[in-house]
Structure formats: structure tokens, C-alpha cells
Amino acid sequence: MLGAFRSALATPDLRRKILFTLGIMALYRLGSHVPSPGVNFANVQQCVSQQDQSGGIYGLISLFSGGALLQLSVFSLGILPYITASIIIQLLTVVIPRFEQLKKEGQSGQNKLTQYTRYLTVALAILQSTGIVALAVRGQLFQGCAVQPIPNQDVFTLAVIVITMTAGTAMIMWFGELITERGIGNGMSILMFTSIAARIPTEGQNILSNSGGLVFAVICVLGLLIIGFVIFLEQAQRRIPVQYAKRMIGRRMYGGTSTYLPLKVNQAGVIPVIFASSLLYLPQLIISLTQGSAVDGSWQQFVQTYIVDPSSYGHIALYFALIIFFTYFYVAITFNPDERADEMRKFGGFIPGIRPGRPTAEYLSFVLNRITLPGSLYLGLIAVLPSFFLSITGPGGQNNNFPFGGTAVLIMVGVGLDTIKQIESQLMQRNYEGFLR
């Protein structure tokens, strides 16, 4: 890996792309610390110092924004509105025939779906920024803070803050597209990696100051083991052999080659973890909205103790079960065995020992179901790791964002592997010697 980076920096074209990507990442982090107009920076810092940034209703947004949410900065929403919009559009391609047709039209259809994703991202950014500002005004974003982060709470000031956050989300989308076109790797994934990696030093410092050097060293060792385990399973795949028959087209012979169809163990990626995390925030949101009402508070206490509390066994079991469910659900809607079998049959491909058509689709479905189970168990195990480390990573179990578990490590490892593969593929294109030396 280090050799690939050294060779990439020695290549002028790749060096420019890497430096361009690093520059966009620096601008992204700079915008995460620039306060929105109308926000008192000193008051916000005073409130942030009293808060646990890893929890709360908008804990997932805070994770994907690199802690910029509680700063009420220009990039407070981070990349999460785009992720949510992309997932919604991807799910709608299965439900809406028009979207499914666009998906099959190639690059032109993909451009249209990307345009719809941008529109939906802006709409979600308006809703989320409005909710964040409303929570900040009511004192629920910074609970227990004596000062007001937004001193002037007239309609014009609040509208300017909402517009600024929405524009920041649009700029983040532009940053991601710039990285994809002129830099290295997928732009949105690189920005997600930047946001999550920016939180690790702060969380490491909190663990060191709260639990001591021995616990910090043990967690670092466990983190390295977890990262190695994630890398191993992220690259694990079941390769189904595919044979293409020879075909005569015009005067040329095509086909007759052997290849394979790779089915990853973690076919769903990190999407099931995001779905399950978002769903688990709903009980906490309901409790926050019903506090102070005339409704009996016994059920609120029960939900807070056995479902919302990340250290409770009920929360861990529910989180684990939701991840397994969403893994099967997402794989079922994104991988269609019937379509794959039909594509193979059209191009003269077949699996040795399996007849083309319906038997091939049933075989692919059988193999996919078999490898999805260990993939879902692996995702659930990695996701619930923060809950098991609550007692050693923070006093009183308040730090529920163990830096080497859950969504963070899955995204960081996945983005890192994809970026390294792209660098190596571009190096191979530039340095391939072939048969002539």
C-alpha cells in the first residue's frame, strides 16, 4: 500500500489528483468550523464543551458531519442528506417503473437519476436544517446549557441560518463531484471518510483523559484487530464460475472464455447499519417530543432504559436484529437473480452444471442467501461493538461512539480499500509494460 502511494506521488498526473483531493478535503474541514450567520460562536463553544457529541437525536448526523452539527456551522448537515437521498432513489428504482427504466438506459438515465438525487438532497437539507435550528432555539440541542447559541431569534435570522446550512449541503455535493471528476476515488465517500476520521483524535483524547493510558493502549490494539477483521471480510467473496459459449457474429468468433461472478459476503455494504441506526433514533425522538406533556411517563422511562440506552441488552438485541433484517432486505432489492440469469443467457453465458434460465436464477438466489447470513452477522457484530465498550471508553457509559466500531470503521475501511484499488489501477494503466519491453 505504501509503495502504491509512493509511486502515485512520483507520477505527475496522479500527484496532481491526490493534491487536489487533499485540498478539497481541507476546504471541507474548514467549512465545518465556520459558524453560520446569526450564531454566537463563543456561546456555541461553551455549550459544546458540556455536551456528549456522540449521542442525541442527531447523533448520526453529527457522525457524518465530523462533529460540525453541534457547531451550527455552514457544513453542519455534512454528507448525510445526500446519503439519505441516494438510498431513497435507489429504493424507488424497484418501486417506480420510470426510475427502473432510467437505470437501464445507461449513462443518460444515470445522469437523470443523479439530478433527482440532487433535488431530493436539497429538500432533505431544508427539513433537517429547520429541525436542527428549532431544537437549538428550544434548548433541546444543547440540553442544560445556560447560554443561547442563537441570541437573535427573529424569523429572518432563523431563515438565514436554514438557507446557509442548505447551501452548505449543496456545496458539499459540488465538492464530492469535483473529487470524482478531477481527484482520486469517489468524492462523496472521500468526504464521509474525512468527517469520520476527523472525530478519532478527539475521541482518543477523551478516552485517554477519562480512562488512562492502559485502557487507551488496549483499545488501540483492539482497534487494529477490528480493522484487520473488517478488511478480511470486506474483501471476502464467493466466486461463481461462468462459461461463455462460442458464437459466430459476422466473420468473427466471440466467446469461449471462462470468468466468474463475484458475490461479496458483505453484499449490502454499510447501508443496513445506517437504516438500523436511523430507526433506533425514532424512540429517542418520540421521548423528546413528549417530554413535559400530560402523557404518563412510565412508558417513557421503560423505553429510555431498555431501548434507547445503548448499554442495555434490549438496545443491543434490537440493533442486531434490525441489521440482520435490513441486510436481507437491501440485498433482495438490489440484487435480482432473475435479471442476472437473463443477462447471462442473452450473452451465451452459463454456470457449469446449471441449466440457463430459471435454474440459474434459483442457484444464484440459493448462494446469495447462504452468504448473506454470515455477512449480516458480521455487520451486526461490528455495529454493536460500541455498546460492549461503553464501560471502558467513558465514565458512566456516556461515550457511545467507540472509535473503532459501528458505522465509522465500516465506512473508513471500505473507502480506504476502494481508493487504494483506484490508485493501483491507474498506476497499472500508466506503467503496464505488456509483452514489449
Q: Which of 332, 330, 334, 312 is nearest to 322 (CA)?
A: 330
Give pLDDT, residue 395. 43
3-state secondary structure 386-430: HHHCHHHHCHHHCCCCCCCCHHHHHHHHHHHHHHHHHHHHHHHHH
What is the Cα–Cα distance from 428 to 434, expressed in whole angstroms?
A: 10
Report which of 1, 55, 388 is spatially closest to residue 222, judged by C-alpha positions: 388
Give the per-residue pLDDT at 402: 55
DSSP character at residue 11: S
pLDDT on residue 390: 56
All domains in the chain, ordered by first residue: 13-205 (1.10.3370.10), 212-430 (1.10.3370.10)
Compute the distance between CA of residue 175 and CA of residue 122 in angstroms, rounded to an integer: 15
With contact defined as beta carbons under 8 Å apart, do 81 and 213 qualify?
Answer: no
Is the pLDDT reported for residue 245 higher than 80? no
Identify each DSSP E strand in 233-301 by its residue range.
237-244, 247-249, 252-254, 258-264
Higher pLDDT, residue 238 or 247: 238
Q: Which of 39-48, 55-64, 179-188 has the highest mean pLDDT?
A: 179-188
Write out pLDDT tens, residues 99-116. 888 888 878 888 898 899
- Neighbouring C-alpha atoms within 13 Å toward the C-beta of 21: 24
pLDDT above 60 for 140: yes
**What does the angle CA 318 – CA 322 – CA 326 come to, to the nearest 5 degrees?**
180
Higher pLDDT, 403 or 172: 172
Cα 209 from Cα 393, distance rounded (Å): 10
Q: Is the pLDDT of residue 145 over 80?
A: no
Q: How many residues does the chain have?
A: 437
| Contact between residue 273 and residue 410 where contact means Cβ atoms under 8 Å apart | yes
First vs last Cα of the chain: how many Å apart? 26
> Does 167 have pLDDT greater than 90?
yes
Of 257-261, 288-292, 340-344, 369-373, the one with minimum mean pLDDT is: 288-292
The pLDDT tens digits for 385-397 are 776 665 444 444 4
pLDDT at residue 435 is higher than 50: no
CA distances in angstroms from 114 to 28, 59, 296, 428, listed in the order given: 22, 27, 46, 30
Q: How far apart are CA 52 and CA 405, in angstroms?
A: 18
274 vs 380, residue with greater confidence? 380
The kind and range of the H/E element at 350 are strand 349-350
Nearest-10 Cα torsion for 393, 396, 400, 405: 30
pLDDT for 178 equals 92
- pLDDT surpasses 80 at 122: yes
Mean pLDDT of 71-76: 83
User: What is the average per-residue pLDDT within 46-73?
Assistant: 64
Q: What is the mean pLDDT of residues 314-328?
A: 88
Report which listed range, 36-50, 106-120, 210-224, 246-260, is most confident.
106-120
Per-residue pLDDT band for 288 (boundaries 50, 70, 90) equals low
Residue 432 φ/ψ region, left for φ over 0, alpha for ψ in the -120 to 50 degree band, beta for the rest: beta
pTM of the model: 0.78
User: From CA 52, how far away is CA 173, in angstroms rounded?
Assistant: 28
165 vs 151, which has greater pLDDT? 165
pLDDT value at residue 34: 84
Mean pLDDT over the full length of the chain: 80
Is pLDDT at 2 greater than 80 in this prediction? no
**208-219 mean pLDDT:** 80
pLDDT in tens, 403-423: 556 677 888 888 888 888 888
User: Can you tell me the mean pLDDT for 182-195?
Assistant: 86
Confidence of residue 172 (pLDDT cuts 50, 70, 90): very high
